[in-house]
Structure 1
């Protein structure tokens, strides 16, 4: 029985490694090659046979859309399953990719389950799913990362324990209640897209390598090494940059275990020159960052 071969294309090493590790854990018999951009992928596609392509949209030299268009112009790749892995979820971008012949989409950030579901669906359509040995079902979050993050925030306790309220008759008025910390301020605001949902964030610091963000603590805590997308908007034309990355560090913003705010170090992984140029302009403008409004 022939092995299933998959090509992973992304200019960010972190995202390529993330996808390859997920696929290898779930499909031990799968052959996986990778490329740093569409041009490198094009060379591989001309010399090797692949059953599936997982490709980023925004890459230097040749974008995912350009690679897709080239594939559909080649007799040998007209029916090749091509899944776009992208943070571009806007309607016009989806329509553009569909018109170019894309097979499916995976939005960034994605969970292992989302990636595996799309891959299984694509392989099932071409009758290749049975050709790969399926391992045990993956867990949603690696326990070690989850526990480490939670411990750092709660002082080693599994959860923040709230005191049992006293009976109404024994209640005493608080003379000097501890005030809640006001919302943090910074250079601007953005939207952080995590697998668990979207969160508005305050940008405390920004460099070409990372951003220091503050978000309100929610029921679902973000995890160290979790992939994410940071949306930033600037300028009169409502120019939006979608920066891919991962959470490098998470700490309580206030010096207490039940802090209402979390401080996140978001490490960028994009190598796209256009995104780096945009980021440079954001840093130069500094206070010109404006509030991001989803859907604007």
Structure 2
């Protein structure tokens, strides 16, 4: 049987491992290679052909969009599915990727089932699913446009919206505050003796595959964050991948930081506690995101005493 191959491109080892694990479990015969950024992927693609490319958008040296634009300029590349795996859903970015020839989108965070469905559809359209599985796959229509609504929170590119989805409103009593110290798995009382600096009146949102949470950032470092979210039907799960959206009021800039859930704990020692603490470990290696975090940390402060009802 002929080989069917895929190239996974992402600067975060955790995300690459997540994608590879999902692909191997759903498509056992698929041959998988990886690249740590667009520049490395360009080198790999210059010497080998692949039947599928799964690529992150924001990467150092060469972004996913730049790789896509280069790749579509190569002879015979138009038939190869190029799926953008991204936490970005801004209208302008989505349209630019479609114009550059993207085949489909997978929004971060994603489940294994969502990834498998996108890959199966892409391989079916290119005729490689039958080769991989040795049987005829069900017909699956659609193009990259079908994923735009999901990526942009149910709105098409011409809707004029710039957001991924309508963010759940944060409780009015919660005021986001950020510390220049790293988050830990212990209680947040350890920040009480640290000197406070100017507060950052920012917005924060935690996006997981099962839902979105408006949140308070209790502590923040280049490696991790401790956030507080309201308890809901979908509880964050340890090792679940997600995206932390950080916004500054000063310039309305947003950093979308890829992360995974490292720990979950109740704010109070009661079973009916309304608030939970979530420790996130960042997996991004993008210098631009790290620079944004550095600037955000430098201007932030710890919330010395936190009470959801305060």
Give the TM-score of the pair, scaled to structure 2: 0.75
| 2:226 corresponds to 1:212 | yes
| 2:63 corresponds to 1:49 | no
Question: Which has the greater radius of gyration?
Answer: 1
Following superposition, the deviation at residue 190 of structure 1 comes to: 0.4
User: Distance between the aligned counterparts of 2:66 and 2:46, measured in 1?
Assistant: 15
Unmatched segments (≥5 aa) in structure 2? 135-172, 179-201, 304-310
Mapping of residues 78-157 of structure 1, within 5 Å: 78-133=78-133
| 2:207 corresponds to 1:193 | yes
Deviation string 1:225-273 (CA, Å, 9 cap, x unpaired) is 1010001111432011010111011111111222111100011111000
Number of aligned positions between the proteins: 242
Mapping of residues 155-234 of structure 1, within 5 Å: 186-187=177-178, 189-234=203-248
User: Distance between the aligned counterparts of 1:231 and 1:69, measured in 2?
Assistant: 27
User: Distance between the aligned counterparts of 1:40 and 1:62, measured in 2?
Assistant: 9
User: Distance between the aligned counterparts of 1:77 and 1:18, measured in 2?
Assistant: 26
Partner of 2:198: none
Deviation string 1:44-100 (CA, Å, 9 cap, x unpaired) is 111112000000000000000000000111103232210000001111111010011
Change (3 A) 1:185 1:35: closer
User: Distance between the aligned counterparts of 2:129 and 2:78, measured in 1?
Assistant: 20
Following superposition, the deviation at residue 287 of structure 1 comes to: 4.3
Partner of 2:69: 69
| 2:275 corresponds to 1:276 | no
User: Distance between the aligned counterparts of 1:201 and 1:51, measured in 2?
Assistant: 40
Change (3 A) 1:16 1:131: same
Partner of 1:25: 25
Change (3 A) 1:93 1:231: same
Following superposition, the deviation at residue 23 of structure 1 comes to: 0.5
Q: Secondary structure at the match of 2:53?
A: strand
Deviation string 1:112-170 (CA, Å, 9 cap, x unpaired) is 11100000000000111122249xxxxxxxxxxxxxxxxxxxxxxxxxxxxxxxxxxxx
Q: Secondary structure at the match of 2:229?
A: strand
| 2:261 corresponds to 1:265 | no
Unmatched segments (≥5 aa) in structure 1? 135-181, 290-296
Q: Is the contact between residue 226 and residue 246 of structure 1 (CA under 8 Å) also seen in structure 2?
A: yes
Q: Is the contact between residue 68 and residue 102 of structure 1 (CA under 8 Å) also seen in structure 2?
A: yes
Give the TM-score of the pair, scaled to structure 1: 0.78
Deviation string 1:7-56 (CA, Å, 9 cap, x unpaired) is 00000000000000000011111100000000111111111120000000
Change (3 A) 1:269 1:288: same
Taking only aligned residues, the RMSD between alpha carbons, in angstroms, comes to 1.8
User: Distance between the aligned counterparts of 1:200 and 1:8, measured in 2?
Assistant: 31
Q: Secondary structure at the match of 1:78?
A: helix
